[in-house]
Amino acid sequence: MDVIDAHQHFWAYRPDHYPWMGPGQDGLRRDHLPEELQMLMAQAGVAGTVAVQARQMEVETEWLLGLARQHRFVRGVVGWFDFTAPDVEARMERLADDPLLVGARELIHDMPDPDYAVSRDHVRGVRAAARYGLTYDLLLKPPHLPAATRLVDLLPDQRFVVDHIAKPPMATGELEPWASGVRELARRPNVWCKLSGLVTEAVKPGESLTVDELYARVEPYLEVCLEAFGAGRLMVGSDWPVCTVVAGYGETMGIARRFVGRFSEDEQRAVLAGNCVAFYGLVDRSEEGTGGTS
């Protein structure tokens, strides 16, 4: 069964480019490039990915598109655009012809204002993305869920996907207020959810858990997502290389796949690949020449 990893990153590491890498994430402070991921994917039985921005620069979006052109396992790119720029639409228009550009993302969860999602610039940027046919990745923590819900209500024709199930505190086992916030957001038909980044939030600093222990921590949260979104709006992602701080690529994907294993075959196909392809509008690259490395 085809698996698409709906969320991974690439970077050529420079400390000033990736200031969000925190203590305990030293393993991330090196290059993470397609050749490495491709080996891990082959072992894990993953056929394709969506590469997501990790740096707030439009040159990164172009760089990711360049990597995607060379590596056909990269089925799409979620880029970053400067939503505060007065010419944000022209900036999107410049790249929008590229079928590999499938979405945009801004780092809402790093904004000090919990209502940033409905701030003027942000709404304008997400609306511009919608116009240019670009979906929008919602990178949230639980306090940002109410504003994100208001944003979705403002833009019913945009397609949104919640990254990393909105990062609930899985290490402590608390469900509220995250669960209520996710359920409310999921009532909007134009919001999907990535079962990704699961291991990162499941451990306390310095903790080392087995895969079974990680799964036990994560499962109650996945149940809430399944109940809220249904199998028709879930997709799976690794958040590689960020996941490697806690678990390997195969183990991380394995946690999501274990949860999905009890679904019907059709539902598994949908959650492991079909929903992601449909949400982002990923192009089929299997017919492309082998000019790239895959």
Partner 1 sequence: MSGHLLRQRVPLGRTGLAVSRVGLGCSALGGVYGAVAEDEAIATVHAALEAGINLFDTAPAYGSTRSERVLGKALRGLPRDAFVVSTKAGKLTSEDGRDSFDYSEAAIRRSVDESRERLGLERLDVVHLHDFDYEDGRHLEQALAEGLPTLRALQAEGVVGAVGAGIYFMAAWKRLLTRAEIDVALLHNHHTLLDVRAYELLPLFEAKGVGVINAAPLASGLLTGGPPPAWHPVPADARRFLARATIRAEELGTSLPRLALQFGVSEPRLPVTVFSARSRDELAQALSWVAEPFDPDVVAEVQAELEPLMNVQWAYGGTDPANAFASEGC
Footprint of partner 1 (CB under 8 A): 89, 92-93, 96-99, 101, 130-135, 155-159, 187, 189-190, 229-233, 264, 266-267, 269-270, 273-275, 277-282
Nearest CA-CA partner of 237 in 197, 210, 201: 197
Which element (helix H / strand E) includes 270?
none
Nearer to partner 1, 96 or 245 (CB): 96
Nearer to partner 1, 155 or 209 (CB): 155
Residue 63 CB, nearest approach to partner 1 (Å): 19
Residue 181 CB, nearest approach to partner 1 (Å): 18
Q: Which DSSP string corresponds to 18-46? A: -TT--TT-GGGSS-B-HHHHHHHHHHHT-
SS3 (DSSP) at 240:
strand
Nearer to partner 1, 211 or 231 (CB): 231
Nearer to partner 1, 196 or 275 (CB): 275
Residue 43 CB, nearest approach to partner 1 (Å): 24
Nearer to partner 1, 247 or 270 (CB): 270
Residue 232 CB, nearest approach to partner 1 (Å): 5
Q: Are strands 160-162 and 135-138 parallel, antiparallel or unpaired?
A: parallel
Nearest CA-CA partner of 204 in 181, 239, 173: 173
Angle at the Cα of 34 (from 52 to 289), degrees rounded to 5?
105
Which element (helix H / strand E) includes 114?
none
Nearer to partner 1, 37 or 282 (CB): 282
Residue 267 CB, nearest approach to partner 1 (Å): 6
Residue 217 CB, nearest approach to partner 1 (Å): 27
End-to-end CA distance of the chain: 19
Largest CA distance in the chain: 49
